[in-house]
Amino acid sequence: MKVLTGSFAVLFLFCQCAQAQLSRGANLSPNLFGSIPQETTTGGTIALPLSEAIDRALKYNFGPIISEQETRVSRAERVRSLSELMPKVTGNVNQYVQQINLAAYGFNGFPGAPLVVGPFSLIDARAKYTQNVVDFKLLHELRSSAEKVTASNYAQDDVRELVVLIATDLYLESVAAASRVDAVRVQVKTAQAVYDRAVSLKNSGVVPGIDVLRAQVQLQTQQQRVVAAENDLAKEKLNLARAIGLPQGQAFTLTDSFVKDAVPVPPLDQALATAFESRPDYKRSLTLIKAAEQTRKAAEARRLPSVQVNADYGDIGRSLGFSHGTVGLQGTLSIPIFTGERTRAEILESDSLLEQRKAESSNLRGRIEYEIRTANLDIQSASEQVKVAQSARELAQQQLTQAQDRFAAGVTNGLEVTQSQETVATAEENYISSLYALNLAEAALARGMGTAEKMIKSFFGGK
């Protein structure tokens, strides 16, 4: 069980808020935390650096796989729109066998002529050609679908950015959990040493039995924390494996740790310029505006004339051996005169969609600036907290050493040692949490600038 006291509680809440803010800003989908494992469990333990975790996530994470299929659907819609403007050729062979009752048509018979004619056959083999030569509505619909394909490609790139961010976050959470396990194990050794010293001093008659009990309680508390920390680490590694496509039963070790020094932060104007140029989601929003404009033009083009050509060529006769070629050519000019309110309704609908796309793009532009400013503030704050936490960590260790010396000399009782042990535990947790917050803020800045896939690996020593 984790005990939140003092400054650690504030830092813990800061980290939780940063994570929630990151999730809200990125609009994360549950699909991004799943994957399709492509391997079987190996017998040993594999080493997993952050760069390999990111590569695995981009390959096996469920988000990019689904996004790729959605892009294929957009391409199919473009091909469908293109097919409406391309010529169409169909061929068919028809054979008729008829027997006609002339009396049914008012012929009561002629001298020497039967009332029933047939049966006789007729074969018609024909190829038909159809093409929309001029249709501005179909042309603008084709351009709109082409813009949607481009937007879908940008959406796929944006999913990759989010997957990189998620993989990084889950890796850092696992690193933090592993650091907590190491810290608590050290605290167990310290508590064991304090307990052994208390037993020795009690046997020598220097301290009362209450100090032994106090040291024993502290030792068991630290042992309980080890169990809890190890369980948290195991679950964090399962979350990481789930997101990057590793089999759930695969054992692995984390080879990368926290970066303790803050990376250089670019000026705000430069970061914003990079974001508006690189963010796939922002480029997607601009492309969707173009698609909506083409959709509106397609609605307006319903009022314009269109030209269609139809032609056919084939053989017709009693049989294929007794047939003759025939040809037909037809040009049709369609001029809309009155279509009810359908055209007006489509224009109103496309206007609404266009305004919606513009509003979404404007909102996204403001959100990008918010994310970058927030990441810069988080980096500055977390960097200062790392310095303070590191200093507090060293002071807490000195306090514990002095308390142990005073306890061994009989100057004080075991309560001071117990309080110093708790101070060390809090200082270690503050230090780990501040490093996690700093590294996560740096990753969030890379995401905010639209360069997560390019920059995060370099942040943590990748190539």
Instruction: Report residue 223 as tokens.
Output: 């042992």
**Which pLDDT score is estimated for 317?**
85
* Predicted local confidence at residue 28, as pLDDT: 57
- Among residues 68, 458, 57, 41, the alpha carbon closest in space to that of 239 is found at 57
**Can you read off the two tokens belonging to residue 134?**
């001029």
Report the alpha-carbon distance of residue 14 to residue 148 in Å, rounded: 39
pLDDT at residue 378, as a whole number: 93
Helix (H, G, I), strand (E, B) or coil at 204: coil
DSSP letter string, 3-68? ---HHHHHHHHHHHHHHHHHHHHHT--GGGG-B---SPPPSS-EEE-HHHHHHHHHHHBHHHHHHH
Alpha-carbon gap, residue 166 to 143, rounded angstroms: 35
- Identify the pLDDT of residue 109: 65
User: 371 to each of 25, 197, 287, 368, how far by Cα in Å?
Assistant: 7, 53, 22, 5
Residues 252, 44: Cα–Cα separation, whole Å: 8
* Rounded Cα–Cα distance for residues 382 and 388 (Å): 10
* 132: nearest Cα among 288, 332, 294: 332
Round to whole Å and give the CA distance between 438 and 45. 29
C-alpha to C-alpha distance for 120 and 293, rounded to whole angstroms = 59
At 217-256, the pLDDT tens digits run 988 999 999 999 999 999 999 999 999 988 888 899 999 9
Q: How far is CA 177 from CA 8, 161, 303, 392, 431, in A?
A: 16, 24, 65, 20, 13
Question: What residue spans define the domains of the chain?
Answer: 6-88+134-307+340-459
Which run of H or of E encompasses 309? Answer: strand 306-319
**Contact of 244 with 58, CB cutoff 8 Å:** no
Range 6-88+134-307+340-459 has CATH code 1.20.1600.10: yes
What is the per-residue pLDDT for 18?
42
The number of angstroms, rounded, from the C-alpha of 417 to the middle of its chain's C-alpha atoms is 49
User: What's the pLDDT score for residue 67?
Assistant: 87
Structure tokens at 406: 């005073």
Q: How do strand 252-254 and strand 46-48 relate by DSSP bridges?
A: parallel
Residues 440, 441, 444: CA angle, nearest 5 degrees: 90
Q: How far apart are CA 324 and CA 152, in angstroms?
A: 53
Q: Using an 8 Å Cβ cutoff, are 450 and 161 in contact?
A: yes
The pLDDT value recorded for residue 204 is 81
**Residue range 63-88, pLDDT digits in tens:** 888 888 889 999 999 999 999 889 99
The per-residue pLDDT for 463 is: 43
Number of Cβ within a 10 Å radius of residue 355: 12
Which residues of the chain fall below pLDDT 70?
1-30, 39, 109-111, 461-463
Predicted structure pTM score: 0.81
The string over 170-204, giving b where at least 16 C-beta atoms fall within 10 Å of a residue's C-beta and e elsewhere, is: bbbbbbbbbbbbebbbebbebbeebbebbbebbee
Residue 206's pLDDT is: 79
